Amino acid sequence: METQQHISRQYNQELESVKSKVLKMGGMVEDQVEKSISALIEQNSELAKEVAESDYKINKIEVEIDESCAQLIAKRQPAAGDLRLIIAIIKVITDLERIGDEAEKIGRYTQKLTSMKDEVNMYAELSRLGDKVITILRDALDAFARMDVEQAIRIAGTDRQIDEEFERVSRILVTHMMENPRNIKTMLHVIWCARALERIGDHAQNVCEYVVYLVKGQDVRHMELE
Amino acid sequence: METQQHISRQYNQELESVKSKVLKMGGMVEDQVEKSISALIEQNSELAKEVAESDYKINKIEVEIDESCAQLIAKRQPAAGDLRLIIAIIKVITDLERIGDEAEKIGRYTQKLTSMKDEVNMYAELSRLGDKVITILRDALDAFARMDVEQAIRIAGTDRQIDEEFERVSRILVTHMMENPRNIKTMLHVIWCARALERIGDHAQNVCEYVVYLVKGQDVRHMELE
């Protein structure tokens, strides 16, 4: 019995350790996204470079967590509930890694933008979109950390606001392009950044859906969340 | 011993059944991508509508496979090698589902494009990109089906050709936009389609990387494959 408890304590520790690695990865991703948005809006080429070159750290931790999950399953043969947690983690970190990729892309586009000569001055238009994306990402990670299904459902619903904001920004950028066709190439880079932000919102929504799946055991991934 | 063999036979059947579901899903995804490209290039609004409205089938099968994987782990407590297969499957189907999403987007954009009045006639420019994407996707699924790590490595390397073709198409579209600024809004929809095709190539590359991970036990996901 004591051995049993000992094994179970060790198992819980391992499970907690994986969970805290996921939260650490979430923090790194959030940090990258924030920096990429600042770099873009302030046209800070150094910060953009930093973001573009730090993505490998996120990739590395994803691989580590996958490995830990596989080991945990093999060694501990977790029961249904824990298994669902582990599968949700494997899915969540895939989305986190993709968010890191999008932040990296924003960093790369920003580096190109700072080296282009066109004066576009449209970056402030992206700040509201950036704010909304940071908020949904932070809230999604928080819902995951606390396994808060109510919050997860609420947040997943706000992804639509991001799509609307993206549409608003697109319209402004298209109008600018029509008026200044010489800047089209530059403006396309700005649009790619807006697109990357919108994608980050989609991935944050996926994280929320995994929280619901995890807690409710019900797969809401492809249902309307409202 | 007989029971043991019986269990092991049943287990193998279950594992094979999951694998064949993944291949079925792969076939559905390939079909959706082919249709979306035809719809785009031929500006066929009916086919576009069909693609846009069939994605739920792919989503459904993803959820089913996830569920089968969870059950298989819980019931059979697979050993290291099989576990790696199951984790690779969970990752692969996430990419397949996202490929389905991109095909759906191409369907939606095409529906919009067919209802727009601008005469852009740039669709033939996308056919080479479409062909390359179909090829990489088909080869990736084939490498997965046969667990052919050599092929997987070779294919993953061809993703760069898709990026180059995307760049070529982008340049043509940008030139067209600069010459015909009134068509910018329409052209952006064409560019979104090209972007979606490029993303499908990225996801196909991910599938190849999971095959290598699976067979070699080595994670090449974030390394250069050459």
What is the secondary structure of A44-86 as a DSSP string? Answer: -HHHHHHHHHHHHHHHHHHHHHHHHHHHHHHHH---HHHHHHH
Note whether B150 and B187 are within 8 A (CB). no
Please give the pLDDT value at position A213: 81
Tell me whether residues B181 and A185 touch, CB distance under 8 A. Answer: no
Please give the pLDDT value at position B225: 46
Number of cross-chain residue pairs from A and B with Cβ atoms under 8 Å apart: 78
Residue A226 in any domain: the answer is no
Neighbours of A163 (CB within 10 A): 12
Tell me whether residues A177 and B174 touch, CB distance under 8 A. Answer: no
Q: What is the mean pLDDT of chain B?
A: 89
Please give the pLDDT value at position B75: 85
Please give the pLDDT value at position A217: 65
Tell me whether residues B70 and A91 touch, CB distance under 8 A. Answer: no
CA pair distance B29, A176, nearest whole angstrom = 37
Residue B225 in any domain: the answer is no
Query: Any idea what the CATH number is for the domain that residue B61 is in?
Result: 1.20.58.220
pLDDT, tens only, A12-44: 899 899 999 999 999 999 999 999 999 999 999
Residue A94 in any domain: the answer is yes
Tell me whether residues A178 and B170 touch, CB distance under 8 A. Answer: no
Tell me whether residues A170 and B188 touch, CB distance under 8 A. Answer: yes
Residue B15 has pLDDT above 50, yes or no: yes
Which residues in chain B have their CB less than 8 angstroms from residue A62's CB? 221-222
Higher pLDDT, A119 or B177: B177
Residue B58 has pLDDT above 50, yes or no: yes
CA pair distance B196, B104, nearest whole angstrom = 10
Which residues in chain B have their CB less than 8 angstroms from residue A222's CB? 56, 59-60, 62-63
Which residues touch B115 (CB under 8 Å, ≥6 apart)? Answer: B45
Residue B110 in any domain: the answer is yes
Count of structural domains within chain A? 1
Residue A1 has pLDDT above 60, yes or no: no
Please give the pLDDT value at position A93: 95
- Pick among A69, A180, A188, A203 to test the B interface (most B CBs inside 10 A): A188
* Section B47-55 average pLDDT: 95
Residue B16 in any domain: the answer is yes
Neighbours of B63 (CB within 10 A): 17
User: Closest Cα of chain A to B119: distance in Å?
Assistant: 17
Handedness of CA A27, A32, A36, A42 (dihedral sign): positive
Residue B119's region, left for phi above 0, alpha for psi from -120 to 50, else beta, is beta
Which residues in chain B have their CB less than 8 angstroms from residue A61's CB? none
Tell me whether residues B174 and A182 touch, CB distance under 8 A. Answer: no
Which residues touch A92 (CB under 8 Å, ≥6 apart)? Answer: A22, A144, A206, A207, A210
Residue of B66, B83, B181 with shortest CB distance to A73? B83
Which residues touch A167 (CB under 8 Å, ≥6 apart)? Answer: none
3-state SS class at B17: helix
Q: What letter represents residue A168's amino acid? A: R
Please give the pLDDT value at position A84: 84
pLDDT, tens only, B122-154: 888 899 999 999 999 999 999 999 999 999 999
* Section A176-190 average pLDDT: 91
Note whether A153 and A225 are within 8 A (CB). yes
CA pair distance A146, A108, nearest whole angstrom = 34
Higher pLDDT, A70 or A1: A70
Tell me whether residues A69 and B91 touch, CB distance under 8 A. Answer: no
CA pair distance B184, B175, nearest whole angstrom = 11
User: Closest Cα of chain B to A45: distance in Å?
Assistant: 23
Which residues in chain B have their CB less than 8 angstroms from residue A83's CB? 70, 73-74
Residue A144 has pLDDT above 90, yes or no: yes
Indicate the pLDDT class of residue B95, thresholds 50, 70 and 90.
very high
Residue B57 has pLDDT above 90, yes or no: yes
Residue B222 in any domain: the answer is no
Tell me whether residues A185 and B174 touch, CB distance under 8 A. Answer: yes
Residue A8 has pLDDT above 50, yes or no: yes
Residue A121 has pLDDT above 80, yes or no: no
The DSSP output letter for B224 is -
Write out the two tokens for B210. Answer: 């999971």
Note whether A11 and A82 are within 8 A (CB). no
Domain hosting B115: range is 2-216
Tell me whether residues A177 and B195 touch, CB distance under 8 A. Answer: no
Indicate the pLDDT class of residue A225, thresholds 50, 70 and 90.
very low
* Section A196-206 average pLDDT: 95
Residue B204 in any domain: the answer is yes
pLDDT, tens only, B187-209: 999 999 999 999 999 999 999 99
- B52-B56-B62 Cα angle (round to 5): 130
Which residues in chain A have their CB less than 8 angstroms from residue B63's CB? 219, 221-222
Q: What ipTM, to 2 d.p.?
A: 0.82
Helices (H), B77-148: 80-115, 127-146
Residue of B60, B70, B181 with shortest CB distance to A178? B181
Please indicate if any CB of chain B lies within 8 Å of the CB of A77. yes
Task: Name the residue among B161, B129, B131, B156 with its Cα closest to residue B144.
Answer: B156
CA pair distance A61, B113, nearest whole angstrom = 42
Tell me whether residues B87 and A70 touch, CB distance under 8 A. Answer: yes
Please indicate if any CB of chain B lies within 8 Å of the CB of A19. no
Please indicate if any CB of chain A lies within 8 Å of the CB of B59. yes
CA pair distance A180, A182, nearest whole angstrom = 5
Tell me whether residues A177 and B181 touch, CB distance under 8 A. Answer: yes
pLDDT, tens only, A48-60: 999 999 999 999 9
Residue B1 has pLDDT above 60, yes or no: no
What is the residue whose two structure tokens read 């824990």? A82
* Section B144-172 average pLDDT: 92
pLDDT, tens only, A58-100: 999 998 998 899 888 888 888 777 888 898 899 999 999 999 9
Which residues touch B152 (CB under 8 Å, ≥6 apart)? Answer: B140, B143, B144, B208, B209, B211, B212, B215
Write out the two tokens for B120. Answer: 């852009």
Neighbours of A212 (CB within 10 A): 22
Residue B209 in any domain: the answer is yes
CA pair distance B210, B187, nearest whole angstrom = 35
Please indicate if any CB of chain A lies within 8 Å of the CB of B219. yes
